[in-house]
Amino acid sequence: MTTSRFIGSCVTAVSLCLVLPGVATADPAAGVGLKDSPGIRMLEEIQTVITELAEQAKPSVVNLFPLQGIGRSRELGSERIPPNTPGSGSGLIVDSEGHIVTNNHVIGDAAEVEVRLSDKTKLIAHVIGKDPDTDLALLKVTADRPLPSARFGDSSTVKVGQWVLAVGNPFGLDRTVTLGVVSGIGRENINLSRYENFIQTDASINPGNSGGPLFNLRGEVIGINTAIINFAQGIGFAIPSNMAKQVIDQLIAKGKVVRGWLGVGIQPLTPELAKKFGVNEGEGVLVNEVFDKDPAAAAGIKPGDIIIRIDGAVVDSPNKLSRLIGALPPGATSKIEVVRDLQHVVLDVPLSERRDAAVVASIPQAKTEMKLGLDVQDLTAGLADKFKLREPKGVLITKVEPSSLAHAEGLREGDLIKEVNRAEVSSVGEFTSALSRVRRGDTVLLRVLRENRAFYVVLKSTE
């Protein structure tokens, strides 16, 4: 019987062993154990699959001890698995030449790391390269023999509910194996790294597991364990193997990761914004700024466009857009589909190299309906300098009334209004004229610059 047939029959087998006649009818006086039965035999065969997988997986997992500077991070209710004593974290040998992948936060700023193999051999690894954007790092050891390495699987085929094995060194307990299931895929907004697409698992992950592998039942690596929720039980996250392999390949070849760059500021579509732009909530992301001389500007993407697909892949969040673009190499031409004035437009965009100072604009979302509550004036050179604006003209917000809708939406003194309901405004007169066309109860769509970063916001008039 194949492994997949064993595992697919697991629940049935567990049920059978509980009800099969004779399973637990041993004679206590005779000291005889459970009688042989189809249910027991099936469970034993499944158990054998798991134990063989564990034995096969463990040799490629190593214990890591950074020799200096160990990094840690804690944000918004989530916690990177912190260093522990005596070991700091785990790693995975990815080829026989001695390349080892782990988490960037495990090695911190260390240039060298002590590596302990499954046979207790100790080696010194050098850091080949790091990618903080995915929280991955690559090390290299030199050994006098080929090292046991793991085989990567295709993380795009991972399904919720499938069984997985996590292997690592929690609390210094070498090569601990835990069994569980995939409890979620495509997890983002965990605020652990720039590019997030985590596999969630309930296989026990503890301090020291960071950087260790998550295996499927075929012994293939489908993820690199990276984080736990510090206030929950049975919730851990792994970086998908496809993302990890892409990073590993670039670190081996170049010592760094190079990503594509589009050159836009983006924000999610709130229900109010979606309605204003004539699309469904969650249908794409809103372009609020297009940077001069960057690929998007050259290709004709404009503020107010809704990006809905990149090379046929659906875009439903800013994180997804950043991840899709970041996975493409500089120089690649991407087909980007946008909704502009209710029309679908497909643009060919040759990407450039991503800049480290990329900024994504965002703004707090409002929950209440109140008057606008804004005082404005024409922009002057002195005011532009005061509020760090490079724009020569626009309508400057000089006061925001407390408890007003503008205040609730996050607008503040020094914000520069550039558009009202998609029409450019460069003076208070134009701003007032645009507002005069707004009827009671209508929404007002503003495009606003704050220190040269743009965002859209929807206000609802009650005047």
Please count the other Cβ atoms lying within 10 Å of the Cβ belonging to residue 265. 22
Residue 454: closest CA among 365, 377, 362: 362
Eight-state DSSP code of residue 203: S
Summarised one tens digit per residue, pLDDT across range 432-456 is 778 877 776 778 889 999 887 889 9
Taking the C-alpha atoms of residue 169 and residue 212, their distance in angstroms, rounded to an integer, is: 8
Is 99 marked as a binding-site residue? Answer: no
Taking the C-alpha atoms of residue 102 and residue 106, their distance in angstroms, rounded to an integer, is: 7
Taking the C-alpha atoms of residue 426 and residue 171, their distance in angstroms, rounded to an integer, is: 61
Angle, CA of 47, 48 and 52, to the nearest 5°: 120
Strand partners, 138: 101, 129
Taking the C-alpha atoms of residue 323 and residue 53, their distance in angstroms, rounded to an integer, is: 32
Summarised one tens digit per residue, pLDDT across range 266-317 is 888 888 899 889 888 878 999 998 988 899 999 999 999 999 999 999 998 8
Query: Band of the pLDDT at 21, cuts 50, 70, 90?
Result: very low
CB 52 within 8 Å of CB 58: no
Domains and CATH numbers, the chain: 3-57 (no CATH), 62-257 (2.40.10.120), 260-353 (2.30.42.10), 374-460 (2.30.42.10)
**Identity at 238, one-letter amino acid code:** A
Query: Band of the pLDDT at 242, cuts 50, 70, 90?
Result: very high
Strand partners, 200: 184, 237
**Identity at 291, one-letter amino acid code:** F
Is 407 marked as a binding-site residue? Answer: no
Summarised one tens digit per residue, pLDDT across range 168-207 is 877 667 778 888 999 999 888 777 778 888 999 988 777 7
Contacts of 219 (CB under 8 A, 6+ apart): 53, 56, 57, 151
Count Cβ neighbours within 10 Å for each residue of 410-423 and write b for 16 or more, e otherwise: bbeebbbbbbbbee
Is 210 marked as a binding-site residue? Answer: yes
Query: Band of the pLDDT at 74, cuts 50, 70, 90?
Result: very low
Eight-state DSSP code of residue 219: S
pTM above 0.75, yes or no: no
In angstroms and rounded to an integer, the radius of gyration of the C-alpha atoms of the chain is 28
**Residues involved in catalysis:** 105, 135, 210
For 311, the 3-state DSSP assignment is coil
- Find the DSSP H helices in 217-270: 241-254
